[in-house]
Structure 1
């Protein structure tokens, strides 16, 4: 096993500070020495992967580096008695693909504490259509329900609705019977969002930068916000009494300029989502929900399968904001190992 050769998408930094990814041969011996060795079947493309692949030092400290914050595959060797050879597992979060070799390699070796056994009802491919994006979306839905926001309470707003988290939030909420308004800058994707379960699709400008009044007309029983900035501020001020807003993204800005009145006059709850630090008992529970009663019915329709050799183009696309749905990376396509 130690001499096993595998393929990986490796990002290098050159002398001019530029970054480029290449498919290279690696040895299993190059991986961390201890943990659970997994043959990766599928990974996925997330915005964080694109940042890692283009030299964002807030994500990845040193290069060369193998990105890929998601991985699904089979255990080939385990130092951890909780896991056995031949077991299918999911790995997301815990720094995978940030400063450790990630899912864009045909093998990873990680601590057993990072592993989620593949729940019955999910295939490795389906788990990577969901991936970190879908897990984050499900965590947002879970938090809304924990705060007593249910379908009968009124419309739910999903922002950044054509992105990975947004698309899957729409799909999960639709599966659960919520009345979803999807906000997007890509109205040409209206049919796609309606297929996922949205009942209404609006341009994001209808949420962004409305009146500066401290409270706006109550519209939303709950919000899954994926973009931050002024849209998050407006959504908070539009949320109904005792409603809840979850937030997980900052593509429109990391600063939140709002006021206290939605919180003290309407009892609105603002809930941050950090899927990377979600504790394992809740992590497993959410994956079980995603494999069963919360499983999106449109996984095949929102997924595009690519090989390692096609990653460069997809990375450029996601950084431009031109992507909709989910990109699943098949580690077996064009494999030469």
Structure 2
């Protein structure tokens, strides 16, 4: 017997759909409410570490995820300049264990499609254009409002509704994402044959320049610089900016600039960081994923941490007989220190770049946090 029989989930991102899949597979009635009117076809690339891939296997989607992405091993660190000198070739820790690649790049919209289809296939109901706008919890359940109208009574409400979570606000958690001072340009481009794993360039006019393969013929390229108000620029202007600000970077960046000049969609966002102190729940309402924590993607653990939140929470809910304090204590003991370590390390990597700290051991910090993540959540 599970601790819950009927669960509402706000948000259809990776954390929300992962929770929906695991609960529905266990026979729990699940309603997912997504505020967006339709599944979004837009999105940048995503880097996934082995511990994320292990969760996909537990969800039952690994066999579909793997061929849809580009698995790779290791990380290359390069320097600016005409030779694009390789500074280090770091062996990735297999954070998911020996059965999975160390990392994988793929397109976010493709991953979203796979998770949504599987959630619906195992019985979760997903409603778009449905925003959770109210929630009143008592000792036995939660009365949920969607689009300002009653949506039903549930044993639990999971807030997986992203950085600017409505559920987080509804339960009185004041923590909000804070800008780190960095902004990132991202674009999908063609993959040169010699790009077989993520490469990061440190130094030069940008804090970080890099690229990650996402398929046999595709990759996404990114430039990280000082946060600016650049959200309203056109694709043409954004591509021009990426071309101009990447002139110090060579090697595959020559091909990247050619693709940018030919025309491609460019996305710009700021890096943020936050983590909600324990508890992440208020009674029978809990936040997970980006609603509970966010960090710069400097060690590519953001999605993995949201997936782990969902995996640990649903494991406990399925094994327990009641939603009680012992369940929440176990959840926070397994999730808060791990998420905190990722946020701290990710922010530190970015701050070293902002401070121009030439003596910082970026490779050592990346390798060290990967070793921590190799221990199961």
TM value normalised by structure 1: 0.25
Higher relative contact order (CA 8 A, sep 6+): 2
TM value normalised by structure 2: 0.23
